Structure 1
């Protein structure tokens, strides 16, 4: 697996498509490896005329783990958030945005079509606002503006996300846990069979299983606060995609994100929850490719 060194860490990445084609850079969400951007998804986008790159964020997958950080206390972070106090985090979403820009620098990518999912959407929003010259277009999927007062996740979704993860040596329990989480947050209109889900999660567990990194990323999200003012600075053509049935980041968060980004387009997908189910791949590829191609045509 190739890596790029940046910000004193290494980021693992891979790519598909013509190296001379316009680049789409995929930024994944909380505690999730780059392989959640499925090979079918990446190959389909490449088939539309793009160089498609995906990577593991810090603290997940095959990228560097921030093992020198102090242990995080998620309950205390939540308490600080609820009382309006600053949330202490080992690193921030801005640090992760800097990682992404550093990856671009290391690969010689002057400008990319940036696509982020969930936490990855938050990271992509920050880059589009603070590094406008590096972003040809932005696609923010099942993400949020972080504005206070937005509807909260359903209790069962929060419970599933915060449930203790099994010990790393117990593969079957780790898979069982992943299945339970996806059964709560997944897309009711695009169901995945238990067999397929276990295979997909098993591959992720075998590739890398690192619960400590999930906790640190989660606290970084809690510490992120509102990005409303940043969103108003985004000039890249923007597409916001959200599931109508997302129990973790309710659809109102996507609507609010689009509302604050000048001239953003909004696509709400009925039956989509908080995942990238196989049945969603053709819909997402069509929407993202059309958005990126329209920008390329204008420019």
Structure 2
């Protein structure tokens, strides 16, 4: 399905019935990275789940213009094609299409940043906030050198290279305490390549992250029921990012998972679903 928000087309899918739960994916990742088996668990727990492609990824609108990360890091505003605030507006517009005055919102990594931004800008739209492996600001959770190297590696030139690059990235940022799932990594990477492969779009998303101000003080103003989940072996958004998020939002609950990196290990899905379901049930 597709909707248009201020000229941006967003591709989305709806699963089940129940409490409205909107899932926001991270940097360079398409909505298919939200595994349907994980979504099925959320649906079985009483949620209507929506996943979607952020702008500049997948089947949603891709922007144009340069993606000059170095200029953005140097503070050049002309290098910023759009902001996390724009992406939060996209998310709210999708909720309008769905007829949701408010919803439970969960995001991973960049998706957590977008969810935080939405809760700050329009707290009346957010019934509960789940921030997963995210941070209020990049400086609070600096990536390891190896993780940054994996993130900034050269774009793939074909489908085979896209799958191989996914293996290499998750070898570095994945969860050392849990078995790797090469079949799942290959399936998601191949499907994502087939849907739309656009490295420049991912780079523009990264620039939006880099250009975003620290959200800590604004998060202190929230009264939204909040859950923060983070892996204690996350090398990309290191554990202080989760601690900083939980410390900033009044009453937030922090769950830290030993052995978890910057992914969502299948053995932890029941715990993730139970924690999210407890939050959404409590938030109403």
Q: TM-score, normalised by structure 1?
A: 0.91
**Structure 1 unmatched runs, 5+:** none
1:38-57 Cα offsets, whole Å, 9 max, x none, are: 10111110101111111100
> Which residues of 2 match residues 1-299 of structure 1 at below 5 A?
2-18=1-17, 21-67=18-64, 70-78=65-73, 80=74, 88-146=79-137, 148=139, 150-167=140-157, 170-296=158-284
Q: How far apart in 2 are the matches of 1:182 and 1:231?
A: 30
Q: Residue 21 of structure 2 contacts residue 106 of structure 2 at CA under 8 Å; is this kept in 1?
A: yes
The total of aligned residue pairs comes to 284
State the distance in 1 between where 2:87 and 2:5 align.
11
Runs of 4+ in 1 over 3 A off after TM superposition: 85-88
Question: Tell me, what secondary structure is at the counterpart of 2:79?
Answer: coil
For residue 271 of structure 1, report the CA deviation from its aligned partner: 1.0
For each residue in 1:50-99, what CA deviation from the matched residue of structure 2 results, as whole angstroms up to 9, or x when unmatched? 111111000001111112xx211123333x16xxx768310000000000
Deviation at 1:194, TM superposition (A): 2.8
* Secondary structure of residue in 2 paired with 1:266: strand
Hey, what's the Cα distance between the residues in 2 that align with 1:193 and 1:52?
24
For the 8 Å contact 1:190–1:280, the answer to whether it is kept is: no
Residue by residue over 1:21-48, the C-alpha shift from the partner in whole angstroms, topping out at 9 and shown as x without a partner, is 2200001110101111110111110101
* Separation in structure 2 between the aligned mates of residue 283 and residue 209 of structure 1, nearest angstrom: 32
- Verify the 8 A CA contact 1:188 1:272 in the aligned structure 2: yes
In structure 2, distance between residues paired with 1:86 and 1:277: 37
Q: Identify if the C-alpha distance between structure 1 residues 87 and 249 changes in structure 2 by more than 3 Å, giving closer, same or farther.
A: farther
Structure 2 unaligned blocks of 5 or more = none
1: CA distance between counterparts of 2:181 and 2:21? 30
TM-score of the aligned structures, taking structure 2 as reference length: 0.96
Per the TM alignment, residue 196 of structure 1 is displaced from its structure 2 partner at its CA by 3.5
Q: Are the aligned partners of 2:23 and 2:105 in contact in 1 as well (CA < 8 Å)? A: yes
Aligned partners of 1:5, 1:277: CA distance in 2, in Å?
33
Considering only aligned residues, what root-mean-square deviation do their CA atoms show, in Å? 1.5
